[in-house]
Amino acid sequence: MSISIPHENVAETDGATRNASAGGEPTGGVSRRSFLATGVAIGAGATLGPLERAKAAFGAPSSETLTSGDAAILRFRAAAEILESDLWQQYNELGGIQDSEVPGGSGSRRYTKALEELDEDMPQYIHDNTQDELSHFAFINAYLESRGAEPVNLDKFRELPSSKATGAQQIGRLTNLMELTVDTSWWTRYRSSTKNPDFGDKFAPAVPDLANGSFPAIPRSDDDLKPKKHIQAIANTAGFHFGTIEQGGTSNYPQLAQRVTDLEVLRVMLSFGGVETMHFQTWQDKAGNAPALTDPTNGLTFPNLKESSDEELKANLIMPEPTVFLRNSLPIVSIVRPTNTEGIAMGVVEFLTAMGLFKGQSKGFFDALKQLASEADAAKPRG
């Protein structure tokens, strides 16, 4: 059974609250259910039709209707949060804590043990990150509806296979964690005092091998559970992948926030972005504990970052180093980086695609995701 929060359940929960406070079913001749049925047409854009129908259903005054740009930005983030939830769910099934908050799966003992080499609380952190992402997408979709805009539903693209390892649910997935090419350049990007990606600067990866080849971040089957260094390399890959995903959210919310027009939508962007940063900082710290080793099955090598003499690699330098920001004439400063906003939604799609996260996905999936991204990127910047 899928643990993803089904689109309709989210809406029903939201609708129950709304109905209780409003004292009954929405009026206006458009049922929530029939509106929601149209809401699955992702990428249809903030066309007047659905917005008008939503206003009729919910009685929202026009001043409370989102601009098409704000709605497109929120819809892109809803899609990103759905994708994050899908990948985190796979991690939780095998290496987290399976409970009523994040149900599904039954754990893989050897994989979990290997993750615990990075920190004994890894299963708890994986569980909590998963729960956070599930709440993020459920909230954004409910929020979109509450403001008369279409929610996002990617359920029809849940067609990728699950891991065959004991502990994983056998359900369709949106993301592929078994053939990843992980860019770990964020590690040196946040340790540099002279460079900023917004100035076009490039950064060396912490684990060069992860950027050259494709590697599983979860056991693909029980055959991956040994030898010990192999399953540890898989857990190490996950450890760095966690940081790679969450540094993306750390940048993406401030990037998109610069182009929203509504104060409450800005509040959503800022409040969510900070949590992605909290995730990133946790994972950056844990990745530094990944045991140095070489996987005997494929040669994937994790360097010893703990004892690195290079300041841009040293594991404990996890606080962002002050660096250049906006203009070279200004003093260096400790900041999230990058925060450029132009074309960034499509940039995220390209980044995740290059990572191998969508290997095996259909053309329809890529088309839908790119449409959501191009609509978000068309939203006008402030000022």
Q: Which is nearer to Fe ion, 253 or 325 (CB)?
A: 253
Query: Least distance in Å: CB of 249 to Fe ion?
Result: 5
CA distance 359 to 63: 42
Number of H helices, E strands in the chain: 11, 2
Query: Least distance in Å: CB of 153 to Fe ion?
Result: 17
> 215 φ, ψ to 5°?
-135, 145
Query: Least distance in Å: CB of 298 to Fe ion?
Result: 31
Q: Which is nearer to Fe ion, 86 or 133 (CB)?
A: 133
CA distance 80 to 246: 11
CA distance 237 to 234: 5
Other beta carbons within 10 angstroms of residue 155's beta carbon come to: 14
Q: Which is nearer to Fe ion, 81 or 150 (CB)?
A: 81
Q: Which is nearer to Fe ion, 77 or 286 (CB)?
A: 77
Per the rule left: phi > 0, alpha: psi between -120 and 50, beta: everything else, 281 is alpha
- Angstrom CA distances, 260 to 189, 268, 381, stand at 27, 10, 7
> 160 φ, ψ to 5°?
-75, 150
Query: Least distance in Å: CB of 306 to Fe ion?
Result: 29
> 210 φ, ψ to 5°?
-65, -20
Beta carbons of 107 and 193 less than 8 angstroms apart: no
Query: Least distance in Å: CB of 272 to Fe ion?
Result: 6
Q: Which is nearer to Fe ion, 127 or 229 (CB)?
A: 127
CA angle in degrees (0–180, nearest 5) for 18-19-24 = 155
Query: Least distance in Å: CB of 277 to Fe ion?
Result: 11
Query: Least distance in Å: CB of 253 to Fe ion?
Result: 9
Other beta carbons within 10 angstroms of residue 34's beta carbon come to: 12
Q: Which residues bind Fe ion (CB under 5 A)?
A: 81, 133, 136
Tell me the residue number closest to Fe ion, measured at CB: 136
Q: Which is nearer to Fe ion, 70 or 133 (CB)?
A: 133
Q: Which is nearer to Fe ion, 80 or 324 (CB)?
A: 80
- Joined tokens for residue 118: 């990075």
CA distance 289 to 174: 29
